[in-house]
Amino acid sequence: MARTELRRLRDPLAWIIGVAVLTLVLIALSSLYVGADVRDESRAITSDAVQVIGDTAAAQLSEVAQPAVLVLTALQSGIYADPELLADGEVITMLATAMLGFDAIGSLQVQAADGSISSIHGVPDGYVVVQRTADGVVSAMHFDPTFAKSTPVDDPPLHMVDALEQVPVGKIVRSGPKPLGTSGEMAIPSRLSVYNADRELVATVQASIDLSVFDDELSGTQAYEVGTVGLYADDGTLVAGQDVVVPEGIVPEATRDGQVVRDGTWVYYVRTVDSAAGLSWTLVLCANAEDVVPAASAVASTMSTYTVVVLLLVLGFAVLAWALRRPVGEISLRARTDAVTGLSNRHHFMVRGSDVLRAASRRGSQVVVAIFDLDGFKQVNDLVSHDGGDDALRAVGDGLAWNAGPRDVVARIGGDEFAFVHWLSREEPPGEAVERLRAAAELTLHANVPEELEVGVSAGWAETSGGEYRLDRLLRAADEAMVKGRREEKGVAYEGDALLP
């Protein structure tokens, strides 16, 4: 039983299955590694893409308020050069010209040094001009888009002629969103004061950019397409876009270079937007990674699917191999072993024996090949039983196997005939080695049959000292020596010569 179990453990099919499982495990582990690497690369690509998209949107928004600076400086230059432009007719013409030249400007207001105010604001069907004299009289006119026709306004919007605070020389003052339109529309005002050569105040001018302009500009960016984006004033007021809800604990800090923070599949990007007009806002972008770079997300998803498939294959193959290990092992073992003794069969003996002889030939070692035949074995089957005969065969096999070395091959090659390939040690005579094996086999045979039966073991052998390492030639020589020797005396080991024809 121990010998059979030993051979089962050495079953090459088990090693093949083990190697296959190990290979699949390595593939699964490599796919896990590659999948993790791909996901990291995908995350990096997505983060970089979000940053590029956010920076592009910031660059576009930074130019939106630029017309306010241009208009203010133009009005400043005109009024400085010709203060008479502040006269009633001239100031309206000046403001109307500026409004027609810059679509982004929502309203303009000029406050002269004497306190009189003139303002103009764009409305859907044209423009509204509101004026307040130095003594507080307010009037308003509605103009068509071309300023060709005008009609009086019965209820002037008084908030359009609120007093403007004076600004120090050479400075432009900006503020957050304020209701400055005819109906309280939100706008971003910027103002400066005009002084003459003697540093005396001439007028204060204010230009406002409607928030709708920022919305229009933002809606044309890729940031608007890939996620939720909002533009915020310094006080947190939403200037344009949509209000972006950033989960607590992952709120990134707004910097000039921007900061990307990931939360699962969501990517948040925050950066300051320094307007060319001198305003400073904060841009917040929230996007789903799968919408930003679909190809990168698809690769990561495909890799994850591949990893799962490989893991399932490994698990399935492992379960199948575990379920089939015994029946497949038994089939493999039966294909290589003798059913009665558990030793190698003839085919396996020829394969393994030839391997041993080739190894011995390469190393210059000596090997002896022996054949053992049972004398009087027929009477065991006739007088005891075939079961008793099988017991006797197993006993002989045990006797030979117990005396085999690690490189030896033992087999039952047919009927009551056994074969042995024995690797000789340096000082071991081949004849003595074969006789030792024959005696061991005979001893176990006698121990397993009735004493009255005259049975024994005869042997024939041939060795490789003459340079013959072919197993078939050595077996033939050993068999012929045993057959000839048994005619004279049984129970003896006879030497054969593999070099004889």
Whether residue 143 sits in one domain with residue 23:
no
Max mean pLDDT among 54-58, 95-99, 164-168 falls in 164-168
Neighbour-count burial of 462, counting CB atoms closer than 10 A to its CB (0-12 exposed, 13-18 middle, 19+ buried):
buried
Q: pLDDT at residue 489 above 90? A: no
Q: How far apart are CA 112 and CA 384, in angstroms?
A: 138
Give the model confidence (pLDDT) of 237-283 as tens digits. 787 888 888 777 666 676 777 888 887 778 888 888 876 556 677 88
Domain hosting residue 433, numbered range: 346-495
Whether 175 is in a domain gets the answer yes
Q: How far apart are CA 168 and CA 190, in angstroms?
A: 13
Per-residue confidence band for 13, with pLDDT thresholds at 50, 70 and 90: low
User: What φ, ψ does residue 491 adopt, rounded to 5°?
Assistant: 75, 25
The CATH number that applies at residue 134 is 3.30.450.20
Q: pLDDT at residue 9 above 80? A: no
One-letter amino acid for residue 481 of the chain: A
Whether 113 is in a domain gets the answer yes
pLDDT of residue 11: 55
Q: How far apart are CA 334 and CA 43, in angstroms?
A: 56
Q: How far is C-alpha 361 from the chain's CA centre?
A: 53
In the numeric block, the tokens 């009086």 are attached to 152
Q: How far apart are CA 464 and CA 367, in angstroms?
A: 6
Give the model confidence (pLDDT) of 32-65 as tens digits. 676 666 666 777 777 788 888 888 888 887 777 7
Whether 279 is in a domain gets the answer no
* 72-89: average pLDDT: 84
Whether residue 301 sits in one domain with residue 203:
no
Per-residue confidence band for 181, with pLDDT thresholds at 50, 70 and 90: low
Say if CB 401 and CB 343 are below 8 A apart: yes
Whether residue 371 sits in one domain with residue 485:
yes
pLDDT of residue 6: 37
Whether 227 is in a domain gets the answer no
Whether residue 377 sits in one domain with residue 434:
yes
Residue 111: closest CA among 164, 174, 168, 184? 164
pLDDT of residue 376: 86
Whether 57 is in a domain gets the answer no
Whether residue 175 sits in one domain with residue 123:
yes
Per-residue confidence band for 370, with pLDDT thresholds at 50, 70 and 90: very high
Q: pLDDT at residue 463 above 80? A: yes
pTM higher than 0.85, yes or no? no
pLDDT of residue 278: 62
How far CA 118 is from CA of 204, 205, 317, in Å, comes to 11, 10, 86
* 200-210: average pLDDT: 88
Of 194 and 323, more confident: 194
* 427-432: average pLDDT: 91
Whether residue 424 sits in one domain with residue 396:
yes
Give the model confidence (pLDDT) of 296-322 as tens digits. 556 656 766 777 777 787 777 777 777
Whether residue 304 sits in one domain with residue 179:
no
Sign (positive/negative) of CA torsion 418, 477, 404, 330? negative
Residues 6+ apart with CB under 8 A from 175: 188, 189, 190
Q: pLDDT at residue 2 above 50? A: no
pLDDT of residue 17: 66
Domain boundary among 171, 197, 214: 214
Query: From edge to edge, which strands make up the β-sheet containing 456-463?
Result: 409-414, 417-423, 367-375, 456-463, 493-495
pLDDT of residue 432: 93
Whether residue 131 sits in one domain with residue 6:
no
Residues 6+ apart with CB under 8 A from 256: 271, 272, 274
- The total domain count for the chain is 3
Of 77 and 319, more confident: 77
Whether residue 35 sits in one domain with residue 9:
yes
pLDDT of residue 354: 94
User: What φ, ψ does residue 222 adopt, rounded to 5°?
Assistant: -70, -25
Whether residue 188 sits in one domain with residue 86:
yes
The CATH number that applies at residue 372 is 3.30.70.270
Q: pLDDT at residue 24 above 80? A: no
Q: pLDDT at residue 156 above 50? A: yes
* 159-184: average pLDDT: 78
Q: pLDDT at residue 12 above 80? A: no
Whether residue 150 sits in one domain with residue 18:
no
Among 13-17, 174-178, 207-211, which stretch is predicted with the lowest mean pLDDT? 13-17
* 458-474: average pLDDT: 92
Half-sphere exposure of 291 (CA within 13 A, CB side): 15
Mean pLDDT, all residues of the chain? 82
pLDDT of residue 421: 95
Residues 360-387 as b or e (16 or more Cβ within 10 Å = b): beeeebbbbbbbbbbbebeebeeebeee
Whether 268 is in a domain gets the answer no
Among 265-269, 360-364, 389-393, 457-461, which stretch is predicted with the lowest mean pLDDT? 265-269
pLDDT of residue 219: 84
pLDDT of residue 360: 93
How far CA 251 is from CA of 235, 269, 280, in Å, comes to 17, 10, 19
pLDDT of residue 277: 54
Say if CB 54 and CB 225 are below 8 A apart: no
Per-residue confidence band for 3, with pLDDT thresholds at 50, 70 and 90: very low
Q: pLDDT at residue 361 above 90? A: yes
Whether 221 is in a domain gets the answer no
* 91-108: average pLDDT: 84
Tokens of 492: 């003896």
Residues 6+ apart with CB under 8 A from 496: 460, 461, 462, 477, 478, 479, 480, 481, 482
Whether residue 127 sits in one domain with residue 31:
no
Whether 52 is in a domain gets the answer no
| Percent of the residues in the chain that have a pLDDT greater than 90, as a whole number | 22
Say if CB 386 and CB 426 are below 8 A apart: no
Of 43 and 90, more confident: 90
Max mean pLDDT among 180-184, 272-276, 452-456 falls in 452-456
pLDDT of residue 332: 66
Q: How far apart are CA 299 and CA 77, in angstroms?
A: 59
